[in-house]
Homo-oligomer: A and B are copies of this chain.
Amino acid sequence: MTVPMLMKIGAWGDGLTRFNISQRPKLIPYLREHLGVESFPDHPWTWEPKNVGIPPSSLSESFVREMRSILGAEDLSQDPIVRFRHATGKSYKDLLRVRLNKVESFPDAVVFPRDEEVLARLLSLCSREGVAVVPFGGGTSVVGGVDPLKGRFSSVLTLNMQRMNRVLQIDEASQTATIEAGILGPDMERQLNDRGYTLGHFPQSFEFSSLGGWLATRSSGQNSICYGGIEKMVVALRMVTERGIYQTPLVPRHACGPDLKELFLGTEGTFGIFSSAVLHVHRVPERKEYFLVAFPSFRMAAEAVRQVVQNKVPVAMLRLSDEDETHAMFHFVEATKINPVKQMVETLGKSYLKLRGIFPPKMAALMVGLEGSREQISERRAWLKQILGEHRYMNLGSAPGRKWLKDRFFLPYFRDDCLDYGLFLDTFETATEWSNLFHLYETVRGNIAEVFRRDGLKLKLYTHVSHLYQDGAALYFTILGQQGKDPLAQWHRVKEIANTSVLGSGGVISHHHGIGVDHKNHQYGDALVKRLFRQVKHDLDPEGILNPEKWNN
């Protein structure tokens, strides 16, 4: 991998992979019928630099000279294209802004520190000179986390961390690895896999996101039920601040006051910048067995998975789609290769399914992942069967599971095509206790549907549960609808409804995407809590240069 790896401007990915709806004859009728898309030409949108007015850098020559005295020759760029590449994350709103030429903030320079000392010297310099600093890992934020906002300062620097990408140490006895924060997912996993280990962190952004980004946003991956969110993976952290470098204790557990690392995780570069972390690593599982199970309804399936979790069956993944998402899967089968449910249904026959109380297309699909030795998988499969046996379900086999594993990071590419066809495609997630799950689900769906209905726009709303806990679960919503006349204004309206609906029905504003800009005004906690976080921020970042106008700023 070239470092830095920079994604295609205004799109997901590196430009080598495409979803390409126009080549997927089974998806086209679905989009035509349900989303009113009329034609499907193969003309992917491409960014044209000539149309973009990037203002000149506002940094003084003397400041740039000082930075150059700290950095290597290739580790600072004021090139307009490099600055544009660091001007947005990868949310639907970001892609829209790029396409509509409405990106308004650019970093005045991008720097690429190669070690912690350089990072610390850069922060000191920026603190002294009053230059805002925005840390940037892989740039995959979908909540505005990397927007180069200046706050009260006149200049802003983006700090691309990707050249701090070393695996520094592996402690085999303690099963930990010390890793620099700028490393990207695939590079890190490859190095760990070579030693027989895995971190087990697979967010959908995995191909392009960084360890530092995961730490900064409290990221959570597809196998969170097995390995936990990133906060469960961290043993110790190093964080560089204006005031100095904080090191949390390298011990398995302590009773010596707060868990300092939990005060730093999730602070999205507003307290400091992670330079490295000591992480739990795990032996790569011998085998993986992923299979699809169908239930008569989302509600019945949710009850079943709750029991699986509360019985502490050590599964590697559970991913439960509601009826609408399951229905969409049928039509996406060939298109997204997510899973060939439709074929399964055709093979088994509807009448057989009906015997099990399942009436396709109205059903809920659960992807189950088991990982471990052959014996472990077999024991867990038996245990699952015992619990699921108290519910109406049907095992649709492991072919869809193999497909899913192959394509697990593929879905974001679909969004680029949607934008080409005038579709709104955004996602958001929340978490709540089991006892509140369906209240939240119904409320949020109802409110989002109402916005599109009033605008006379078509909408498909999909929901799945993919992070499950003893006491509750995350709900992940996908909004696929028709764009309004002013897509940015439409997005703001829909997002506001989503935010207020989630909070109003007892959810938290984000389960794993973070706060960034988009959730800034919907952070949990009353005035007391916000005051407390501001005090801590002020202590660590007295000049307030770190990631202005984001979480907690």
Interface on A for B, CB 8 Å cutoff?
171, 173-176, 217-220, 229, 231, 235, 243-247, 249-260, 262-268, 280, 283, 306, 310, 312, 314, 379, 431-435, 467, 469-474, 507-515, 519, 523-526, 528-529, 531-533, 535-536, 539-540, 551-552
Determine whether the beta carbon of A258 is less than 8 Å from that of B533.
Answer: yes
Determine whether the beta carbon of B531 is less than 8 Å from that of A249.
Answer: no
Kindly provide the distance from the CB of A512 to the nearest chain B CB, expressed in whole angstroms.
5
Q: Which of B173, B217, B532, B539 contacts A531 (CB 8 A)?
A: B539
CB-CB under 8 A from A250, the residues of chain B are: 433
Q: Which of B524, B526, B528, B536 contacts A256 (CB 8 A)?
A: B524
Smallest CB-CB separation from A528: which chain B residue? B244
CB-CB under 8 A from A511, the residues of chain B are: 253-255
Kindly provide the distance from the CB of A381 to the nearest chain B CB, expressed in whole angstroms.
13
The complex places the Cα of A247 from the Cα of B472 at a distance, in Å, of 18
Q: Which of B171, B265, B529 contacts A435 (CB 8 A)?
A: B171
Determine whether the beta carbon of B434 is less than 8 Å from that of A173.
Answer: yes
Q: Which of B255, B267, B431, B471 contacts A266 (CB 8 A)?
A: B255
The complex places the Cα of A231 from the Cα of B260 at a distance, in Å, of 13
Determine whether the beta carbon of B524 is less than 8 Å from that of A535.
Answer: no
CB-CB under 8 A from A254, the residues of chain B are: 218, 431, 508-511, 524
CB-CB under 8 A from A268, the residues of chain B are: 257
Q: Which of B258, B434, B531, B540 contacts A264 (CB 8 A)?
A: B258
Q: Which of B262, B469, B510 contacts A259 (CB 8 A)?
A: B262
Smallest CB-CB separation from A469: which chain B residue? B252
Smallest CB-CB separation from A264: which chain B residue? B258
Smallest CB-CB separation from A257: which chain B residue? B266
Determine whether the beta carbon of A255 is less than 8 Å from that of B539.
Answer: no
Given the known interface contacts A263-B263, A535-B539, the answer about A220 and B314 at a Cβ–Cβ threshold of 8 Å is no
Kindly provide the distance from the CB of A509 to the nearest chain B CB, expressed in whole angstroms.
6
The complex places the Cα of A260 from the Cα of B552 at a distance, in Å, of 13
The complex places the Cα of A26 from the Cα of B432 at a distance, in Å, of 57
The complex places the Cα of A245 from the Cα of B529 at a distance, in Å, of 10
Kindly provide the distance from the CB of A280 to the nearest chain B CB, expressed in whole angstroms.
6
Determine whether the beta carbon of B435 is less than 8 Å from that of A174.
Answer: yes
CB-CB under 8 A from A515, the residues of chain B are: 255-257
The complex places the Cα of A268 from the Cα of B524 at a distance, in Å, of 25
The complex places the Cα of A141 from the Cα of B8 at a distance, in Å, of 59
Determine whether the beta carbon of B469 is less than 8 Å from that of A253.
Answer: yes
Chain B CB within 10 A, most for which of A244, A263, A473, A515: A263
Determine whether the beta carbon of B175 is less than 8 Å from that of A432.
Answer: no
A–B complex contacts, Cβ < 8 Å, 18 sampled: A173-B435, A174-B435, A176-B433, A176-B471, A229-B253, A231-B259, A246-B528, A249-B508, A249-B525, A250-B433, A252-B432, A252-B433, A257-B552, A258-B266, A258-B267, A312-B314, A532-B540, A535-B536
CB-CB under 8 A from A519, the residues of chain B are: 256
The complex places the Cα of A533 from the Cα of B310 at a distance, in Å, of 36
Determine whether the beta carbon of B220 is less than 8 Å from that of A253.
Answer: yes
Kindly provide the distance from the CB of A502 to the nearest chain B CB, expressed in whole angstroms.
11
Smallest CB-CB separation from A523: which chain B residue? B256
Kindly provide the distance from the CB of A492 to the nearest chain B CB, expressed in whole angstroms.
20
Determine whether the beta carbon of B280 is less than 8 Å from that of A249.
Answer: no
Smallest CB-CB separation from A531: which chain B residue? B539
Determine whether the beta carbon of A255 is less than 8 Å from that of B174.
Answer: no
Determine whether the beta carbon of A536 is less than 8 Å from that of B540.
Answer: no
Given the known interface contacts A310-B175, A511-B253, the answer about A471 and B235 at a Cβ–Cβ threshold of 8 Å is yes
CB-CB under 8 A from A470, the residues of chain B are: 174-175, 252, 280
| 3 tightest Cβ-Cβ pairs between the two chains A and B | A262-B262, A252-B472, A252-B469
The complex places the Cα of A431 from the Cα of B251 at a distance, in Å, of 6
Kindly provide the distance from the CB of A529 to the nearest chain B CB, expressed in whole angstroms.
6
CB-CB under 8 A from A251, the residues of chain B are: 431-433, 472, 507-508
Given the known interface contacts A433-B171, A434-B173, the answer about A256 and B252 at a Cβ–Cβ threshold of 8 Å is no
Q: Which of B173, B260, B433, B540 contacts A525 (CB 8 A)?
A: B260
The complex places the Cα of A510 from the Cα of B249 at a distance, in Å, of 12
The complex places the Cα of A546 from the Cα of B112 at a distance, in Å, of 46
Determine whether the beta carbon of A174 is less than 8 Å from that of B535.
Answer: no
Smallest CB-CB separation from A270: which chain B residue? B257
Q: Which of B467, B525, B533, B535 contacts A253 (CB 8 A)?
A: B467
Determine whether the beta carbon of B265 is less than 8 Å from that of A529.
Answer: no
